[in-house]
Amino acid sequence: MKFPIGIQDFKTIRKDGFVYVDKTALLYKLADEGQTYFLSRPRRFGKSLLVSTLKYYFSGEKDLFTGLAIDSLETKWEQYPIFHIDFNGSDFTVPHTLQRLIKGRVEDWEREYGFQGNPDYSPGERFVRLLAHVHKQTGKRCVVLIDEYDKPLLDVLDTERKVKLDDEELLMEDYNRETLKGFYSVFKAADQDLRFVLLTGVTKFSQVSVFSGFNQPEDISMNAKYDAICGITKEEMETVFHDEIDAMAEEMGVTSEEVRNMLQRHYDGYHFSNKMTDIFNPFSVLNALNSRSIQDYWFRTGTPTYLVRLLSHTNENLNDLTGNYYDTSEFVDYRADVERPLP
């Protein structure tokens, strides 16, 4: 079995024969039943692969989905214009990186669709006019996919970094927040030009912080219908990785049941709805099965630097935080001006 470790492109996984845990029935449900969504999940949890899968689905690349659940659900396979931004690969501690990235992407899209944007307008205003133009030009409403929307904020929160703007110095977290707020506010004006919108991130910042003026997306982060849209369920572990678990047990010199218990104890710590579906961390599971060794794979690559900064100057006792039950409201609509480690 080939494990797609570090591979987040759906086409590469399918074309090159890597194992894929089929989430396409949930993907079809998502696209069929709504329009604008927000999904929060930890880093290294499959958000980028979900976004990539949606991109190929809305591109109408039917052949990539042969044999998957969606193959028997979708009958039209229409092709839509897609606008995709991935904030994952940039360092937003560098001043003006966010502003240059957004402006550059909008200009690239304008060139792609032969549209002359007004340079006097903000990137958000140019984008909403571009969406209207593309809708009229193609006869298709647009798909917007934004991966790790909150990284420009998390990179600079609590760092006290500043940026010079004209003759004024601003905190970068304030500057980036206002930039994102201005960009996302266009979606309200573009509603009639949008077929589907998905924003993913680690943290849902409150509407006041980021989404002011934005048509509030449906937050499916703790929705029971979509709790397994990222990650690996216990059932999927058995149906997809049964033989690999047996091979791992043989190499470690233990029983298959012991390996299952080890995998569950180390990597099955997640429940994303009151349905309490067991969700395994996919990055850790794939690495463990590939190397046939139980190690702390996620923490080596997904260290939450903002959380570490926050904990360093708050008086929270981690022993007091853990082992308790919290209401769902404790984890949504995080306000950046009220520093709380729990969400």
Locus of tokens 């903000």: 122
CB count in 10 Å sphere of residue 53: 25
Strands (E), the chain: 36-40, 82-86, 142-147, 162-165, 168-171, 194-201, 218-219, 232-233, 279-280
Phi and psi at residue 86, to the nearest 5°: -115, 110
Ordered mean pLDDT values, 10 residues apiece, the chain (343 residues): 95 97 97 93 93 98 98 96 94 94 96 95 93 97 95 88 88 90 82 94 72 73 95 96 97 96 92 93 96 90 74 81 82 66 77
Phi and psi at residue 18, to the nearest 5°: -80, 155
Choose among 2, 25, 6: nearest CA to 14: 2
Q: Rounded CA gap, 69 and 60, in Å?
A: 15
Q: What is the pLDDT of residue 240?
A: 97
Q: Rounded CA gap, 134 and 130, in Å?
A: 6
Is the separation of the CB atoms in 43 and 304 below 8 Å? yes
10-226 CATH, one of 3.40.140, 3.10.110, 3.40.50, 3.30.530 = 3.40.50
Length of the chain, please?
343
CB count in 10 Å sphere of residue 304: 15
CB count in 10 Å sphere of residue 303: 10
Phi and psi at residue 201, to the nearest 5°: -175, 180
What's the token pair of residue 332?
Answer: 């949504």
Computed from CA positions of residues 263, 319, 311, 184, in that sequence, does the dihedral angle turn out positive or negative? positive
Residue-range domain boundaries for the chain: 10-226, 232-301
Q: What is the pLDDT of residue 332?
A: 67
Is the pTM value of this prediction over 0.85?
yes
**Alpha carbon 121 to its chain's center:** 29
CB count in 10 Å sphere of residue 217: 20
Q: Rounded CA gap, 92 and 153, in Å?
A: 8
What's the token pair of residue 257?
Answer: 């049941």
Choose among 89, 94, 177: nearest CA to 105: 89
| Burial of 292 from C-beta contacts in 10 A (0-12 / 13-18 / 19+) | middle
